[in-house]
């Protein structure tokens, strides 16, 4: 069975492991703090590659940022990584082929191949964490758009410039539905800059009315965005993932979306492939790419 | 050369003509007021079909409402047509095959085959008239979604229930960017229920400041929605059509969208195939469907 040396490069951590064609992680997972320099990031990758390169068929890298359609370069800026990150020539780091994909796209593929959207043709995965990521599967293919940037969840929730998004624009879906978005809603509602996402989640557990109200509004924002996506894509299912997904009342979101004048109902599901979905998905994509020539 | 007897069934008018494989309308276009009963609509279609059926290879019907993926039935309700319209069995009306497609999807296909988006792989057509329609082309195919309902432009512009949409939901793109949406913004802004879309357009021509402000806000709403679509789909181009499109400052929208943190620029274009895009597009789809078996 073919194998990939997988990486998942995020703003705070880099994960690495070997993944097989069935999406199984077959080694220990190594973790590194993401270095603050381009050279530092290269060093982490090089060290792992020199150690494992001979045991695998391809190097598979899930990364923050959009990845081009030939899967060999990051395009455009990545807010949470060092400036100029996109200038890294990943192929230089190995004698084996290096295959890149955006982390949310990779995770969506993992869900499609071995997870929650396995049995569907059209699905959208939304990942709710510090930010919000998206990956779109259309007719059994990852939908990348003309340059690789498709799946950006930065459509607007308001049209009157209320809340700045980390992307530089205003009122994006991410700015209201990420963990950070929940914190910001709490800050605004309580007029307390120190309130955290965890305070809200704790408050909900303890039936604190104010925290419940803030949390319910957050879920309402999540549903409003999904409703728009469902009318645009008419998908089989929407998969919710990321560190915040466990707190979402998925049945409630599904009911709300399907009650909003939808032509045929959509299924909303919790992701199944876990924290390493990025490594699993990019490995499956990379190994399938070998097969497809 | 193969030919289709084409219809375009809308809320107020039914058009009919014969269209060839190159998208040329080769007969006079006949117009009928859309009957208020199912039987009345059937009579109009039957009359034309009995007259022209022997001269053509297929019957091609562009219609309001979502059309299923086998192109033989309307699914779900159509606000502007008689109740129960979707129960019509169109195939019964002819001995030739009857091929249906949603009117906005058909028009998007006409633009893709012989119009403004001819040279592109991924495009979205938006049609601004009494309502707002949408058609999505992905990798040279009409994107229909799981049941045929894809392309609905009913994502939300606000998340706090301000303006009811004709679809029954709140604050949809259509409710702000259609001709009716422009009228409603004018009503609200001027506190005058009798102001019309034409009053606003006339005011803009005469440099009336208040009307300019209302009109510019309408354009701003159009741009805000397109920006969200571009981040989701990363398309080659967006085509603007419909009776209101002529008033839109397309260069301005293009600049605004491309200045909003877009990974690679999108081209925004005025539609080229005119008022009969629905008949042209559905004929091209129907005739290609014969070729593809």
Segment B149-194, tens digit of pLDDT: 999 999 999 999 999 998 889 999 999 999 999 999 999 999 999 9
From chain A residues 60-79, the ones with a CB under 8 A of any chain B CB are 66, 75-76
Q: At what angle do helices B209-233 and B250-258 cross, to 10 degrees?
A: 50
A152/B231 CB distance under 8 A: yes
Q: What angle do CA B237, A128, A34 make, to 5 degrees?
A: 95
Q: pLDDT tens for residues A29-49? A: 999 999 999 999 999 999 999
What is the pLDDT averaged over residues A271-275?
95
Q: Residue B122, Cβ neighbours under 10 Å: how many?
A: 23
CA distance A143 to chain B (A): 8
pLDDT at A165 over 90: yes
**Rounded CA separation A139/A131 (Å):** 27
pLDDT at B281: 98
Q: How far is CA B197 from CA A271, B127, B164, B177, in A?
A: 47, 16, 18, 12
Contact B64, B14 (CB under 8 A): no
B121/A146 CB distance under 8 A: yes
CA distance A284 to chain B (A): 23
B169/A227 CB distance under 8 A: yes
**Rounded CA separation B35/A148 (Å):** 47
pLDDT at B77: 72
Percent residues over pLDDT 90 in chain B: 93
Contact A262, A150 (CB under 8 A): no
Name the residue of chain A whose CA is nearest to B222's CA. A159
pLDDT at A262: 79
pLDDT at A290: 92
What is the pLDDT averaged over residues A83-89?
94
Name the residue of chain A whose CA is nearest to B124's CA. A232
pLDDT at B133: 95
Contact A138, B138 (CB under 8 A): yes
pLDDT at B261: 75
Q: Which chain B residues are closer than 8 Å to A125 by Cβ?
A: none
How many A-B residue pairs are in contact by the CB < 8 A criterion?
Answer: 136
Name A244's Cβ contacts closer than 8 Å, sequence gap at least 6: A128, A129, A178, A179, A182, A197
Contact A99, A278 (CB under 8 A): no
A234/B169 CB distance under 8 A: no
pLDDT at B76: 79
**Rounded CA separation B133/B152 (Å):** 7
pLDDT at B292 over 90: no
**Which three-class secondary structure state does DSSP give residue A238?**
strand
Q: pLDDT tens for residues A210-244? A: 999 999 999 999 999 999 999 999 999 999 999 99
pLDDT at A76: 78
Tell whether B147 lies on the interface with A, counting CB pairs under 8 A.
Answer: yes
Tell whether B265 lies on the interface with A, counting CB pairs under 8 A.
Answer: no
Question: Which band of pLDDT confidence, cut at 50, 70 and 90, is reported for residue A78?
Answer: confident
Label the pairing between strands B123-128 and B132-138: antiparallel
Q: Which chain A residues are closer than 8 Å to B136 by Cβ?
A: 232
Of A109, A102, A128, A287, which Cα lies nearest the Cα of B263?
A102
pLDDT at A77 over 90: no
Question: Which band of pLDDT confidence, cut at 50, 70 and 90, is reported for residue A291?
Answer: confident
> Does 3.30.420.40 match the CATH number of domain A119-271?
yes
Name the residue of chain A whose CA is nearest to B162's CA. A158
pLDDT at A2: 97
Of B51, B75, B49, which Cα lies nearest the Cα of B63?
B75
pLDDT at B80: 79
H/E run at residue A75: strand A74-75
Tell whether A143 lies on the interface with B, counting CB pairs under 8 A.
Answer: yes
Is the Cα torsion angle B232, B237, B243, B246 positive or negative in sign? positive
H/E run at residue B219: helix B209-233
- At the second CATH level, the architecture of A3-107+275-291 is 2-Layer Sandwich (3.30)
pLDDT at B244: 96
Which of A150, A153, A233 minimises the CB distance to B150? Answer: A233
From chain A residues 176-205, the ones with a CB under 8 A of any chain B CB are 176
CA distance A233 to chain B (A): 5
pLDDT at B78 over 80: no
**Rounded CA separation B249/A11 (Å):** 40
Query: Is there a shared CATH topology between the B3-107+275-291 domain and the B119-271 domain?
Result: yes
A159/B158 CB distance under 8 A: yes
Which of A121, A157, A232 minimises the CB distance to B152? Answer: A232
The domain locations on chain A are 3-107+275-291, 119-271
Label the pairing between strands A3-9 and A13-20: antiparallel
pLDDT at B79 over 90: no
Tell whether B46 lies on the interface with A, counting CB pairs under 8 A.
Answer: no
Percent residues over pLDDT 90 in chain A: 93
What is the pLDDT averaged over residues A173-191?
97
Name the residue of chain B whose CA is nearest to A143's CA. B233
Residue B239 pairs with which residues in a beta bridge?
A: B125, B269
Q: pLDDT tens for residues A102-159? A: 999 999 999 999 999 999 999 999 999 989 999 999 999 999 999 999 999 999 999 9
pLDDT at A71: 97
Q: pLDDT tens for residues A204-217? A: 999 999 999 999 99
pLDDT at A183 over 90: yes
CA distance A132 to chain B (A): 13
Question: Which band of pLDDT confidence, cut at 50, 70 and 90, is reported for residue B111?
Answer: very high
Cα A156 vs. chain centroid, distance in angstroms?
A: 19
pLDDT at A292: 83
Name the residue of chain B whose CA is nearest to A176's CA. B159
Mean pLDDT, rounded, of chain A:
96
Q: Name the token pair of A40.
A: 């530092």
pLDDT at B24: 98
pLDDT at A261: 75
Which of A134, A143, A260 minimises the CB distance to B138? Answer: A143
Q: Which chain B residues are closer than 8 Å to A233 by Cβ?
A: 145, 150
pLDDT at B232: 98
Mean pLDDT, rounded, of chain B:
96
**Rounded CA separation B135/B65 (Å):** 12
Phi, psi (degrees; rounded to nearest 5) at B9: -100, 110
B148/A263 CB distance under 8 A: yes
Name A207's Cβ contacts closer than 8 Å, sequence gap at least 6: none
A152/B234 CB distance under 8 A: yes
Q: Which chain B residues are closer than 8 Å to A78 by Cβ?
A: none
Contact A253, A82 (CB under 8 A): no
CA distance A235 to chain B (A): 6
pLDDT at B120: 97
Name the residue of chain A whose CA is nearest to B168's CA. A261
Q: Residue A84, Cβ neighbours under 10 Å: how many?
A: 11
| Stronger pLDDT, B291 or A127, i.e. the higher one | A127
Name the residue of chain A whose CA is nearest to B236's CA. A146
């Amino acid at each position: 069975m073919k194998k990939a040396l997988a990486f998942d490069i995020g703003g705070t951590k880099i994960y690495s492991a070997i993944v097989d064609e069935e999406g199984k992680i077959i080694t220990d997972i190594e973790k590194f703090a993401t270095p603050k320099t381009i050279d530092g990031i290269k060093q982490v990758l090089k060290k792992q590659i020199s150690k494992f390169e001979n045991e695998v068929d391809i190097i598979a890298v899930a990364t923050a940022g959009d990845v081009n359609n030939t899967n060999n370069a990051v395009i455009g800026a990545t807010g949470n990584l060092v400036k100029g990150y996109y200038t890294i020539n990943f192929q230089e780091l190995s004698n084996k082929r290096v295959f890149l994909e955006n982390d949310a796209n990779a995770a969506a593929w993992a869900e499609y191949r071995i997870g929650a959207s396995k049995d569907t043709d059209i699905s959208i995965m939304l990942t709710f964490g510090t930010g919000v990521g998206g990956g779109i599967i259309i007719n059994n293919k990852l939908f990348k758009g003309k340059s690789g940037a498709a799946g950006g969840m930065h459509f607007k929730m308001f049209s009157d410039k209320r809340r700045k998004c980390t992307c530089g624009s205003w009122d994006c879906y991410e700015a209201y539905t990420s963990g950070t978005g929940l914190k910001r809603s709490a800050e605004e509602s309580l007029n307390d800059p120190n309130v955290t996402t965890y305070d809200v989640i704790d408050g909900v557990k303890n039936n604190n009315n104010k925290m419940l109200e803030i949390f319910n509004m957050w879920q309402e924002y999540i549903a409003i965005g999904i409703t728009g996506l469902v009318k645009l894509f008419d998908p089989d299912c929407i998969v919710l993932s990321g560190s915040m997904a466990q707190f979402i009342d998925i049945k409630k979101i599904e009911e709300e979306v399907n009650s909003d004048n939808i032509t045929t109902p959509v299924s909303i599901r919790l992701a199944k492939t876990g924290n390493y979905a990025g490594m699993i998905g990019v490995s499956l994509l990379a190994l399938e790419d070998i097969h497809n020539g």
